[in-house]
């Protein structure tokens, strides 16, 4: 073996080190000597022979590059969308409201069932109307243009819809002629500051659309508020959620558990983020606001059952008695950890789903609480069932349907209503948000569209139709 010597390094007998330092020598020796070595292949014959390597030296050699890991930089890029609002006067917006031809479904919001009709809110834009006489093949009838709309409720062919901070009254005995006939101004004040001190709708400017612009920045330059221009509070509980509830009277429509509007007898009850309001609709086209109560921030849903109202909030469930329907009286409350929480009730049991993931709702719980409401003054927790990301829920007979986000639609057996047992999960629906189960048909809204399931045979629940987005 030819030993290679270099004044900068000690002499090693290890051939591996010889190999290593031979490369070093090419770097440090004169070019002439290095060239000689390259041409004298015999000098490299040792490389082709079997050899043994000192493991410690090898390990040191392999670990050497770890000294340079500080040179490695990870990279993170954040793409977000900046929204520039487009304004229009409220008067001109109101003139454009009414029934128009069917349009694409892009951001489905709340769903509402009224007789043979299925209504789907297009978030902030209006309502898609479907003829659902045959649930296996729902037919698009048209679209009711109501800018600023999120919630609806129907009674006796009169549709009540929010439009920005106002309540719009729309007769719908003939869908094609649906057009607002009455407005109640400034009745919903949370999140709508359009009116300000104005009294004339000509002077009120409302946002009708947004111009979107994508921006890419380094993650380090991005901050919480800059990522959501125009937003003060982020996320009320996810993408197109919000579904309506209504009383069970035959002339009323039926909604889901995530409603903010509901009808009980001659009253329309609404909740905003902090207020519960009652409107008397004895004269259907001229609703009169009879009361407003401040419930504190974080109110989310309202659900009627047996002359009671169950109001879901970020921090608990409130129960109101409708002995005096014009002014609901608070009767009891059940507190839970901070979380988004739709609620439904049946008999002596209430079901509350708690979910995380909303920066406004807060909390980390993902579960369904079963609450004993036998004594409405002192409801108490009976059981907690862990779920993935539960949203809306609906009960029909001894079956409880729960939308569990991406995990799909979960069906529980509630023969023992205090001890729900999971019997089936239907996945592959996208992120499910709310469900209305009625007359053996379950309407499910998700970010992929509206699904309808026939559950007349509980052992073989089958999908019978799907209304796609776009």
Partner 1 sequence: MRLFILLLLLFPFVWLQAQDSSLARQHKISFSSVTQIGLLEGQAGLAFQVQTVNGIAVGPWQLGLGTGIDKYGVRSVPVFVQAQYGLPVLDRSFSVYLDGGRSFTWPEQSLQRAYATEQNGWYWDAGLQYQFKGKRAAGPVFSLGYSGKTYGWEENMDVQCVRAPCPGYHTAYKYIYRRISLKAGIKL
Residues 269-288 that bind partner 1 (CB under 8 A): 273
Whether 278 contacts 288, CB under 8 Å: no
Segment interacting with partner 1, rule: CB under 8 A, options 46-54, 97-105, 341-349, 407-415:
46-54
Residue 166 or 369: which CB sits closer to partner 1? 166
Find the binding residues for partner 1 in span 417-456 (CB under 8 A): 431, 447
CB of 123 to partner 1, least distance (A): 7
Site mask for partner 1 (CB under 8 A), range 47-86, x = bound: xxxxx-x-x--xx--xx-xx-xxx-xxxxxxxxxx-x-x-
Strands 329-335, 432-438: pairing is unpaired
How far is the C-alpha of 105 from the C-alpha of 142, rounded, in Å? 11
Segment interacting with partner 1, rule: CB under 8 A, options 260-268, 320-328, 341-349, 354-362:
354-362
Q: What's the Cα-to-Cα distance from 438 to each of 37, 66, 441, 452, rounded to whole Å?
A: 88, 64, 6, 11
Site mask for partner 1 (CB under 8 A), range 358-397, x = bound: x-x----------------------------x--------
- Is there binding between residue 183 and partner 1 (CB under 8 A)? no
**Which sign does the torsion angle of CA 380, 383, 387, 393 carry?**
negative
How far is the C-alpha of 94 from the C-alpha of 110, rounded, in Å? 21
Instruction: Specify the 3-state DSSP secondary structure of 41.
Output: helix
How far is the C-alpha of 200 from the C-alpha of 60, rounded, in Å? 81
Element (H or E) spanning 354, and its range? strand 349-354
Segment interacting with partner 1, rule: CB under 8 A, options 1-9, 178-186, 232-240, 288-296:
232-240
Residue 32 or 73: which CB sits closer to partner 1? 73
CB of 137 to partner 1, least distance (A): 30
Residue 3 or 48: which CB sits closer to partner 1? 48
CB of 57 to partner 1, least distance (A): 11
Helices 15-28 and 55-63: crossing angle in degrees, nearest 10, is 40
- Is there binding between residue 225 and partner 1 (CB under 8 A)? no
CB of 170 to partner 1, least distance (A): 19
How far is the C-alpha of 198 from the C-alpha of 305, rounded, in Å? 39
Looking at the DSSP bridge assignments, the partners of residue 214 are 81
């Amino acid at each position: 073996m030819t030993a290679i010597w270099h004044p900068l390094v000690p002499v090693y007998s290890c051939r591996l080190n010889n190999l290593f330092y031979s490369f070093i020598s090419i770097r440090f020796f004169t070019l002439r000597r290095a060239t000689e070595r390259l041409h004298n292949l015999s000098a490299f014959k040792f490389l082709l022979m079997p050899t043994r390597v000192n493991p410690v030296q090898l390990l040191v050699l392999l670990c050497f590059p770890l000294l340079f890991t500080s040179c490695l930089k990870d990279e993170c890029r954040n793409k977000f969308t900046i929204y520039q609002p487009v304004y229009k006067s409220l008067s001109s917006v109101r003139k454009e409201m009414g029934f128009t031809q069917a349009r694409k479904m892009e951001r489905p919001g709340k769903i509402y069932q009224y007789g043979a009709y299925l209504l789907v809110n297009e978030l902030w834009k209006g309502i898609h109307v479907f003829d659902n006489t045959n649930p296996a093949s729902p037919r698009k009838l048209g679209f009711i243009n109501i800018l600023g709309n999120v919630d609806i409720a129907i009674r006796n062919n009169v549709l009540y819809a929010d439009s920005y901070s106002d309540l719009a009254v729309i007769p719908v005995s003939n869908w094609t002629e649906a057009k607002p006939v009455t407005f109640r101004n400034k009745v919903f004040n949370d999140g709508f500051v359009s009116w300000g001190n104005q009294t004339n709708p000509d002077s009120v400017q409302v946002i009708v659309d947004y111009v979107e612009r994508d921006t890419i920045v380094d993650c380090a330059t991005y901050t919480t508020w800059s990522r959501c221009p125009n937003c003060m509070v982020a996320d009320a509980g996810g993408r197109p959620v919000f579904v309506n509830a209504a009383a069970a009277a035959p002339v009323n429509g039926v909604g889901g558990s995530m409603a903010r509007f509901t009808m009980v007898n001659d009253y329309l009850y609404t909740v905003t983020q902090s207020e519960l309001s009652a409107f008397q609709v004895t004269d259907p086209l001229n609703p009169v606001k009879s009361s407003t109560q401040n419930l504190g921030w974080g109110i989310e849903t309202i659900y009627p059952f047996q002359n009671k109202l169950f109001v879901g909030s970020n921090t608990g469930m409130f129960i109101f008695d409708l002995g005096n329907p014009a002014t609901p009286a608070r009767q009891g409350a059940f507190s839970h950890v901070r979380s988004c929480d739709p609620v439904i009730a049946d008999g002596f049991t209430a079901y509350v789903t708690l979910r995380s993931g909303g920066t406004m709702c807060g909390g980390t719980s993902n579960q369904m609480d079963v609450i004993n409401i036998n004594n409405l003054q002192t409801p108490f927790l009976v059981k907690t069932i862990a779920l993935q990301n539960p949203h809306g829920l609906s009960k029909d007979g001894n079956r409880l349907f729960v939308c569990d986000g991406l995990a799909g639609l979960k069906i529980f057996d509630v023969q023992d209503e205090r001890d729900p047992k999971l019997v089936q999960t239907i996945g592959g629906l996208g992120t499910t948000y709310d469900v209305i189960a009625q007359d053996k048909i379950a309407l499910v809204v998700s970010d992929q569209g509206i699904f309808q399931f026939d559950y007349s045979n509980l052992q073989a629940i089958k999908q019978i139709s799907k209304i796609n987005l776009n």
